[in-house]
Amino acid sequence: MAVTDIARRTYDHNFRLDPIVRSLLDTDFYKLLMLQMIRHIHSDVQATFALINRTQTVRLAEVIDEAELRAQLDHARTVRFTKKELIWLAGNTFYGKQQMFAPDFISWLADFSLPEYDLRKVDGQYELRFEGPWTHTTMWEIPALTIINELRSRSALRDKGKFALDVLYARAKARLWEKVERLRELPDLVLSDFGTRRRHGFLWQRWCVEALKEGLDNRFIGTSNVLLAMDADLEAIGTNAHELPMVAAARAESDEGLARAPYQVLEEWRAHYNGNLLIALPDAFGTTAFLRDAPDWLADWTGFRPDSAPPIEGGEQIIRWWQERGVDPRTRLLIFSDGMDIDTIEQTYRHFHGRVRMSFGWGTNLTNDFRGCDPDGAPGLEPISLVCKVVSADGRPAVKLSDNPVKATGEPEEIARYLRVFGSAGQVEKAVSV
């Protein structure tokens, strides 16, 4: 019906805010799994998170209006977990396991809200920091990133004509569908959406996820986005992230403690989740050092998520490590999730097919690929390398080395100390686009 709905039109005109954060479930599943453990074991730890824009050429403070940014951040602080969401978290099965979240954690979530933020403009960039208990600041990571990224998209599209917009989304849909057709050629593909943090926008991510569900059928196993998992009856995907070893390392009292930190964290994880969710992230302080010093029990885990080494080299390195320990890699899982796109997924799939179980977490290039889609060819839609990382824990600086020095974060003198403790073997510099 083409009749104008006057009531709706008037409501829309008076709309003060088109909220970006619609739900506290609009976050990555691993944040909730980590949060439960943090609250249980480390509820006294203070952790500061900060926004880091590695794409310095994009001057965010000149692109995004500060008042709009504050309005979105303030709105996110008013959002609470709803009754329906908590019932779902309590009652759903995750990775085949019931009651992944304990009743006392669910009750605690009922009162949860995002804590205060500190925002200022410095040299064309936003300094956005979250200070306070780790149990609260950790939950800002994803909303902070989705807010900044979606405000940037909105700003890039603000002055576009209606037909230009229509063509832009039509091209982006066609572009994704071409990728889907190529992925269909990979019979044993196992793929999930990891694109929340860098997405073009919430509605676009939802479109992409639903397109994969229809187009890839059971080759598409789920999404890291908890809200989309709930709404589309998909599996929620994820385990843990770099912040666990980074905080443990920052809190270590000595260089020996620092060297032990990455493995202590995994022992805590295994104990807390009773031997479920056994995926290790090897690259926080360099995969080579991590594997060299790893305890034997780690070879019994389900697998690894190499997250900053080039996928083929990184995968081969881990396969060799398993083989040296007498483990058949075909019984183990590698999850590739670092800046993957159609070409690297195909190459990695073909390279390892039959030699190891594989799963792909497809992120930015799934939910924010508008290359060549804008009829005006204007800039502003290309994704940027924006992260929100823990920068200190209990007042001590936090560091991430990764396998790619370009992705390292932390103060230079601390980075130097970490390199002394862990070594720099295996580091490969690679341009970071997303």
Binding interface with its own copies (CB under 8 A) = 1-3, 5, 7, 82-84, 87-88, 90-92, 162-163, 165-166, 173, 230-231, 233
Which is closer to its own copies, CB of 99 or CB of 331? 99
CB of 39 to its own copies, least distance (A): 21
Which is closer to its own copies, CB of 162 or CB of 350? 162
Which is closer to its own copies, CB of 68 or CB of 231? 231
- Residues 6 or more apart from 317 whose CB is under 8 A from it? 287, 288, 291, 306, 309, 426
CB of 231 to its own copies, least distance (A): 8
CB of 339 to its own copies, least distance (A): 30
Which is closer to its own copies, CB of 1 or CB of 431? 1
Which is closer to its own copies, CB of 87 or CB of 102? 87
Residue among 130, 115, 105, 136 at smallest CA distance from 52: 130
Which is closer to its own copies, CB of 185 or CB of 233? 233
CB of 42 to its own copies, least distance (A): 28
Helices (H), 111-193: 134-137, 141-157, 162-183
CB of 160 to its own copies, least distance (A): 11
Report whether 390 contacts 48 (CB < 8 A). yes
Segments of 205-364 assigned E as strands: 220-223, 235-236, 279-280, 303-304, 333-336, 357-362
CB of 54 to its own copies, least distance (A): 34
DSSP state of 94: B
Both tokens of 181, joined, read 């057709």
Q: Which phi and psi (to 5°) does residue 239 adopt?
A: -135, -80
Which is closer to its own copies, CB of 177 or CB of 297? 177
Strand 396-397: give its sheet, edge to edge.
Answer: 118-122, 125-130, 47-53, 386-393, 396-397
CB of 168 to its own copies, least distance (A): 11
Please classify residue 303 by burial: count the beta carbons closer than 10 Å to its beta carbon, then call 0-12 exposed, 13-18 middle and 19+ buried: buried
Which is closer to its own copies, CB of 41 or CB of 165? 165
In whole angstroms, what is the distance from residue 126 CA to residue 155 CA?
16
DSSP of 372-390:
TT-TT--SS-S---EEEEE
CB of 73 to its own copies, least distance (A): 25
